Amino acid sequence: MTNLYLIGNWKQHGSRAAIQAFAQQWSFDANPRLRIAIAPPFPYLQTLGEELPDCELAAQDCSVYAQGAFTGEVSAEMVADLGCQFVLVGHSERRQYHDETDELIAKKLVAAQSAGVTPVLCVGEQQAAREAGEQEGVVRAQLRSALATIQPNLLIAYEPVWAIGTGLTATPDQANDMHAVIKQEVASLLGASHATPILYGGSVNADNADALFACPHVDGALVGGASLEAASFMAIAQSASYNLSH
Ligand code: 13P
């Protein structure tokens, strides 16, 4: 394993006061092989960057357009201008509540790469698909349509929808098996010479992080609820750092 990635997705949570409190509590010995980023809501990117220079910045979404008359949209160029290294694309909440299609997601990936921001493509099956044993086909189809037109420089987050915010984590075996499937599909789509890191997301917390990071195909985590408090996010970061040194 070369690097681990830990990205906190604050979703629609946060305030300037919460960022200041988080930054005051944050104390973590940097590990050059562990990249830690936080994705706050757009209005807080600048404040977070100023208050917490130890963490990298991620955006939660971006427009397919660089600029124009698109009220309410934020471009990948704009988040790059604010210092974002990463942008989440195709999160299941965007797919579910904002009707984002595979076609739109493919365009957002291209937009992010054109702006020099590394996209984090989110994929994952619904509970019904898992119960029907169709999870592999669902995820392969998401990858095929999203990756049709992009360069190999991206991260992928496997987030089974049934594990998001539910306290139901995929078992280490379920996560590892799906990550192996994703790696194989990505290699066939983008070429085997590019190692694409695959993060797991879905109720990751300080108690289950060790077992997930120990999986050979798990290259990091995309963390929702447990990233909102510095203490729990630091505990997950410690777990990742420990895993890198053992
Ligand atoms: P939770 O960690 O709260 O389950 O959220 C996962 C997620 O959606 C991260 O993008």
Going from the first residue of the chain to its last (246 residues), give the mean pLDDT of each consecutive group of 10, the final group possibly shorter. Answer: 91 98 95 96 98 97 97 98 98 96 95 97 96 96 92 94 90 96 94 90 96 96 98 97 92
How close is the Cα of 164 to the center of ligand 1, in Å? Answer: 5
CA of 57 to the centre of ligand 1 (A): 17
pTM tops 0.75, yes or no: yes
User: Following DSSP, what letter does each residue of 25-52 receive, concatenated?
Assistant: H------TTEEEEEE--GGGHHHHHHH-
Q: Does residue 38's CB lie within 6 angstroms of at least one atom of ligand 1?
A: no
> Best of 6, 9, 198, 212 to mutate for ligand 1, by most ligand atoms within 8 A of CB?
9
Q: Extract the tokens encoding 70.
A: 């698109």
Please give the pLDDT value at position 168: 86
Give the side-chain half-sphere CA count within 13 A for 131. Answer: 5
